[in-house]
Structure 1
């Protein structure tokens, strides 16, 4: 019996990349999927292109809503999804043809696995493999180790309350993975397969937040204080003064988490923010 997976594609004024993204879904070796395209208040031709895809293949589903941001669009699409499994896919990115098939096999085999991701490649203004740090549960508290397009169960999304729509500037997927790994105590598996292609552009949400230190700190404040007990329990003491340290070290373009009287062997230096 085949297990359906729902690919969720939020769209906001990036129609020039949408066809390429949806072709990568259409080319999957795993065929029991639906692709929910969520138009988050776009003013370009997103609707026109999306409706053409609906006519081309009934597995494509078009939804439209008022602009509410990336988290809102993802949550809206997932709420309407009929699949057991979810794969978020931004409208300017692509996936390899075997990604769904390989990922679902892992999730079906082990119920303790909550997140499956893969090797990745950067394309667009750059063209190179994206070398991510090896996943470590404690390291995850200090930087995002998993890109947004990983497979997980819809029921787990529901249990943790979805993506936090208060995170308007980015890092919503990082906070989502923290929730998934710690609140649900789920294992994370990385496939030995290059199946995610992340488009690098001159302007994007991540470049926007990386250039705006105020929004970075606002977002870090929010994530830290939302999970304050978790951070304190994990490191054995409060993490303090990172705002002060940031002002001193911003020339390195990274945030150094200052941990007072560190008792743990884990070092959280130089790993939170990347260019």
Structure 2
């Protein structure tokens, strides 16, 4: 029976921690351990964590100096005993069947590297969290696998862990690229098993343009092979852009093209509105 290690980093999120840990305790799959990682919090996480350590022996506790989310996850996974890892942020929750259903997919298909599920938002915003389906091409443009996905600990080791240079965010995106860019399959199960808390302030919302530029530049350099394979080289992209610009320049010199644009945009809109007036 496989053991799953659930890694819960916490930095000044103690007010949400018990809700996250309750969702872990309620799992129908019971062979798990949950490692709470205090990443240098300034709140009462020690007090709250101790209550959970007293409640169930499967809860463990690690305390460290603040080093960021990647560092905190790595610290928890390093001491994890499970063959499988499931990261869970301290302000989120998981559905009670998530571990059971995700692990079942690995048992059916040995080619899988990552299993995740459907997600819902809660908190300041509610409803389904709609994300694009996984493909390497889609992954090269934007991340669609949230952090709370199941994978084998050995894959974390092969990927080199979560990159601590991604100090401002997007660490999940970089981690999935490292793990998946060369081979391996991904499965999203038809189950709402992840609940993502929406708050007025968060790390990703506080990402300013300079930090975002740093992260994208770092990603482009580290995974240049991946982005070139999926999106083409910068030379190709620049040539395609130049071809598009030249094509529009030629069209704008054509009177017929300008007239057609005008008619489709303005006259067509007017006719459409007039038709609506008839009913």
Which of the five TM-score ranges fits, normalised by the shorter chain?
A: 0.7 to 0.9
Asked whether the 8 Å contact 1:231–1:239 carries over to 2, the reply is no
Change (3 A) 1:229 1:195: same
Separation in 2, partners of 1:93, 1:150 = 13
Q: Normalization by structure 1: what TM-score? A: 0.85
Taking the aligned partners of 1:191 and 1:90, their CA distance within structure 2 comes to 20
Unaligned runs of 5+ residues in structure 1 are 241-258, 264-275
TM-superposed CA distance for 1:160, in Å, is: 0.9
Q: Deviations over 1:67-105 (max 9, x none)?
A: 100000000000000000000000000000000000001
Deviations 1:145-198 (A, max 9, x none): 111100000000001100000001100000101111114x11010000000000
RMSD: 1.3
The aligned counterpart of 1:196 is 194
Match of 1:235 in 2: 231
Secondary structure (helix, strand or coil) at the match of 1:205 reads coil
In the TM superposition, residue 137 of structure 1 has moved relative to its aligned partner by 1.3
Paired residues, what number?
241
Contact 1:231 1:238 in 2 (8 A): no
238, 248, 261: which one pairs with 2:239?
261
TM-score by length of 2: 0.84
Aligned runs of 1:1-275 on 2, under 5 Å?
A: 2-183=1-182, 185-209=183-207, 212-238=208-234, 259-262=237-240
Contact 1:38 1:62 in 2 (8 A): yes
Structure 1 residue runs of 4 or more that deviate by more than 6 Å after TM superposition: none
Give the superposition deviation at 1:233.
2.8
CA distance in 2, matches of 1:114, 1:236: 25
For residues 112-134 of structure 1, the C-alpha deviation after alignment (integer angstroms, 9 at most, x for no partner) is 10000000000010011101111
SS for the counterpart of 2:206 is helix
**1:229 Cα deviation (Å)?**
2.2
Question: Which protein is bigger by CA-based radius of gyration?
Answer: 2
Q: Answer whether contact 1:118 1:193 (CA < 8 A) is retained.
A: yes
CA distance in 2: counterparts of 1:262 and 1:177, whole angstroms = 28
The structure that is helix-richer by fraction is: 2
SS at match of 2:35: strand
Shift of 1:53: 0.3
The answer for unaligned runs of 5 or more in structure 2 is 242-279
Please give the alpha-carbon distance, in whole angstroms, between the structure 2 residues aligned to 1:150 and 1:179: 15
1:239 CA displacement: 6.7
